Each structure stands twice: as C-alpha cells, then as structure tokens.
Amino acid sequence: MNILVTVCARGGSKGVKNKNIRELAGKPLIAYTLELAKKWNRARNIVCSTDSTAIAKIALSKGIKVPFLRPAELATDTVGKLVVVRHALNECERIFNQTYDVVVDLDATSPVRSLQDLETCFQIFEEKKPDVLFSVVEARRNPYFNMVELKSNGSVSVCKEASKLILRRQDAPKVYDMNASIYFYNRNFLLDLTAISPLSTSNVAIHVMNDISAIDIDSELDWHFIEYLVKQKVISW
C-alpha cells in the first residue's frame, strides 16, 4: 500500500495566535505531530502543507518534506480541510511522480495520539477497505438523551428522537465525537470533486481513541489545559 502522510497547518489562526509554532513544553506544537509521523514506518512520503515559511522551517528541521507552499486561497479559515488534503495529494503525485493508494492526514492541533493508534487505523483500513477512516472518542453528551434543540417556534426537544423517551444514558445508542486527530482517505474518494467532507460517503470506518485524545486546541483554554496535562505528566509523547 503506497501511503502519503500529510500534516496540514496554516500560518494564521484566530482562537490561539500562531498556535502551530507556539511552544508547548519546550517544542512547537506542530513538532509533536511531525515527529510521530516520522516514527511511523509505513509512509512512502511525509509532507507538510503550509503557507507559512516559519512552519515550513520547523517541518524541514524534523526531516519532513515541504515540496510546495500552499496557495493563499487554500490558507483561509473558510476552506474545508478535505480540499487542502486533496491539493496536497495532487501536488505530491505530480512532484514525486507517484500514485498513492491512501492519504493519512494528521491534524497538528489534535496532537494526543500514539504510534499504536496509527497502526490500529492502518489495520482497520486494510481490513474494511472504507472510503474514509477517522478517529473518534466516546461522546460525553448524547443527542438521544441530554442534548436539546431550540426550534424556530421556540419549542425545545431532544436533538435525536428514539422510538421511546430515553431516561438513562446507558439506554441511549452509543455516539462518538470526531476528534480530528487521524484521517485515512482512499485516493479515489479524495479525488472525487463532489466529496467535500469525510462524511460525503457512507462507507466509513472509525477508530475509537481514549478520552484524553479528545483535546483539539481551538482556544486559549484548550492550550492551558493541554499544557497543564503535559506538565503533570498526564500526557507524554
């Protein structure tokens, strides 16, 4: 299986300024993802897709290829991630004269993952052959039980109705949060221009990660939380 690993990180960020290059426990945030990608031995190529020369410099220092700088139109907060990964695939196939079977995208702002997580994802992907596999964690809230929707007429109801009212969380169907950490894409799905999201297909597989992997750094509070966990050695890479 010919695998391309992508780490996509743009220079601008609103919730946490310059978060990809901001130091977390002595190294830039993005370094944790780049180093893990480098340790995984199944990838033919590992690349960083970025519009930032500062991020590119860090990637190169970790032995990660930066074969192109991402165009400005693909480096805004209005562009979906799948489009960015598709661009990286097209560029890498052109530059490296390769045809990849799978693209594995690792999100720098959801850094709590292990080599074992990657390997488990690989095994699931190889066995089930989905269009997409992504990582999840068990959700703390459940739309069948304790999440409600405010409707246009002012009424409130549970987000997702079951055949009967669910009174205990244990009786609700199990649901998961997409933790944005690991994505495996089949090449043909990724190159389908009608696909705009990992959920553009029903042929999906998941890998359930541990609770702490739910951390996705979008705010200063998220940053301080993960920083605290690292200092307390709750998280170690």
pLDDT at 163: 86
Percentage above 70 pLDDT, the chain:
100
Chain segment 80-107, per-residue pLDDT in tens: 999 999 999 999 999 999 999 999 999 9
**What is the helix (H) or strand (E) element at residue 6, kind and residue range?**
strand 3-8
The predicted structure's pLDDT at residue 230? 93
Taking the C-alpha atoms of residue 162 and residue 144, their distance in angstroms, rounded to an integer, is 7
> What are the pLDDT digits (tens) for 19-37?
999 999 999 999 999 999 9
How far apart are the C-alpha atoms of 212 and 207, rounded to whole Å? Answer: 14
Please give the Cα distance from 99 to 96 (Å, whole number). Answer: 9
pLDDT of residue 47: 99
**Distances in Å between the alpha carbon of 68 and those of 28, 89, 117, 136, 172?**
21, 11, 28, 30, 47
pLDDT band of residue 62 (cuts 50, 70, 90) is: very high
As annotated, the residues of the chain forming the CATH 3.90.550.10 domain(s) are 3-138+175-231
Cβ pair 44, 98 in contact under 8 A:
yes
Measure Cα distances from 142 to 120, 122, 145, 205 in Å.
26, 28, 5, 20
Tokens 């130091």 map to which residue? 23
Q: What pLDDT digit, counting tens, does each position of 107-163 carry?
A: 999 999 999 999 999 999 999 999 999 999 999 999 999 999 999 999 999 999 988
CA-wise closest residue to 205 among 149, 148, 133, 103: 133
From residue 94, give the alpha-carbon distance in Å to each of 84, 89, 197, 207.
16, 9, 23, 31
Mean pLDDT (whole number) for 168-195: 96
Q: How many CB atoms lie within 10 A of CB 187?
A: 16
Average pLDDT over residues 202-209: 98
Q: Which CATH number fits domain 3-138+175-231: 3.50.50.60, 3.40.50.720, 3.30.1360.120, 3.90.550.10?
A: 3.90.550.10
pTM attached to this predicted model: 0.94
Question: What DSSP designation does 156 have?
Answer: E
- Give, as one character, the DSSP assignment of residue 7: E
CA distance 229 to 202: 36
Max CA distance (Å), the chain: 57
Helix (H) or strand (E) holding 134: strand 132-138
Strands (DSSP E) contained in 145-230 are 148-150, 156-158, 176-186, 204-208
